[in-house]
């Protein structure tokens, strides 16, 4: 218990202690972070300034972009600063805040993806009732529900983890990750975390089941469509969402369910990058590459920004 009073900060071990590799860490993470910022801010801007995109689908997409910005901003900037300044230090309060905001955004992400699956289900399986079912009131309730459940899950885990005594302060990760913090606890941490983990597992499993059930009915309805053009149009709106869900779920499950004691340190960090940085970076690309409306809105912005266009207007 004496160790509890002296744990006032933590040490985040980077990918390497060599200065050359630390600079490489800064360059790679900075490039990834700027890609996340550019892609998601662009999505938000396109939807905000294009009235044709003011639909429930793109409303959820804007929320997803905000969540992606929050997820990466909670972890990546601190890692870049530490590598740049050749330090591993993070205060106890900053670590708790990092855990809270990361869990808040990553939890909200899963629930929002479930709401997006429901939106696609109503649009394809019940197109005549879509306008009445997915009205703006319903969309606001679904989005607010995703944010509120994410907030509850983050508060539950953060309060549980940081109420435990820590016997060490070295975290084998580039940010304050829950499994790594649990390993540092002096108490029987897995029993202390049992109810929080049970709550999260129940919610996550419920979301996954809802998504699977939605897409089973979606694909059943699509395969019954007589027109090949309608099938392709329906699949084009569903495939990006399925890719995003698969990317997030597979990396999260593999990272959190794999025993940390039997995994190598570098593998833990690579997995953390895969579920915390790669999905937010890929989401704008996935949604824009297969979406005609997003690509059209993007070309309109580029067209109006062309110098020749501006010169023609002035003449």
Q: Which residues pair with 91 in a beta bridge?
A: 9
pLDDT for 146 equals: 93
Q: What is the pLDDT of residue 104?
A: 95
CA 271, CA 77: separation in Å to the nearest integer? 18
CA distances (Å), origin 274, targets 7, 251, 259: 30, 6, 17
Question: Measuring CA to CA, which residue among 215, 187, 123, 109 is closest to residue 154?
Answer: 109
Position 246 scores a pLDDT of 78
> Which pLDDT does position 188 carry in this prediction?
64
Q: What are residue 89's phi and psi, to 5 degrees? A: -80, 140
Contacts of 314 by beta carbon, 8 Å cutoff, 6+ apart: none
Predicted local confidence at residue 295, as pLDDT: 67
CATH number, domain with residue 271 = 1.20.1070.10
Sign of CA dihedral 87, 88, 93, 97: positive
Q: Retrieve residue 156's tokens.
A: 């539950």
**What stretches in the chain show pLDDT beneath 50?**
1-5, 261-263, 308, 310-315
Which strand ranges, in their side-by-side order, compose the sheet holding 170-171? 89-91, 9-12, 170-171
Q: Which tokens sit at 284?
A: 């704008």
Q: Report how far residue 124's alpha carbon sits from residue 54's, in angstroms, rounded to the nearest whole number.
A: 18
Total domains present in the chain: 1
* Per-residue model confidence as pLDDT tens digits over 245-267: 877 777 776 666 665 544 455 67
Q: What is the DSSP letter of 10?
A: E
Range(s) of the domain holding residue 310: 2-314
In this predicted structure, what is the pLDDT of residue 192?
A: 62
Q: Which residue has the tokens 């330090």?
A: 87
**Token pair in block for residue 186:** 């002096």
């Amino acid at each position: 218990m004496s160790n509890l009073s002296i744990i006032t900060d933590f040490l985040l071990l980077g990918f390497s202690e060599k200065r050359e590799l630390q600079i490489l860490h800064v360059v790679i993470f900075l490039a990834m972070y700027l890609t996340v910022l550019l892609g998601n801010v662009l999505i938000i801007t396109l939807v905000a300034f294009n009235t044709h995109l003011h639909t429930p689908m793109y409303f959820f997409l804007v929320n997803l972009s905000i969540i992606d910005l929050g997820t990466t901003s909670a972890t990546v900037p601190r890692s870049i600063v530490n590598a740049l300044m050749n330090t591993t230090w993070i205060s106890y309060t900053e670590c708790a805040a990092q855990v809270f905001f990361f869990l808040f955004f990553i939890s909200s992400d899963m629930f929002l993806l479930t709401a997006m699956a429901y939106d696609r289900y109503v649009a394809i399986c019940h197109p005549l009732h879509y306008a009445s079912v997915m009205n703006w009131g319903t969309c606001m309730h679904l989005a607010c529900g995703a944010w509120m459940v994410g907030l509850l899950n983050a508060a539950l885990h953060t309060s549980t983890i940081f109420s435990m005594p820590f016997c060490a302060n070295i975290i084998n990760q580039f940010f304050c990750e829950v499994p790594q913090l649990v390993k540092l606890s002096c108490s029987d941490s897995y029993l202390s975390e049992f109810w929080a983990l049970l709550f999260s597992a129940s919610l996550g499993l419920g979301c996954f089941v809802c998504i699977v059930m939605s897409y089973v009915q979606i694909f059943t309805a699509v395969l019954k469509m007589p027109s090949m053009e309608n099938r392709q149009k329906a699949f084009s709106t569903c495939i990006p969402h399925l890719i995003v869900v698969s990317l997030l779920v597979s990396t999260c499950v593999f990272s959190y369910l794999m025993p940390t004691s039997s995994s190598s340190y570098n593998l833990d960090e690579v997995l953390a990058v895969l579920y915390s940085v790669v999905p937010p970076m890929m989401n704008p690309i996935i949604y824009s590459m297969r979406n005609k409306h997003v690509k059209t809105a993007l070309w309109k912005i580029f067209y109006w920004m062309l110098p020749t266009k501006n010169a023609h207007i002035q003449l």
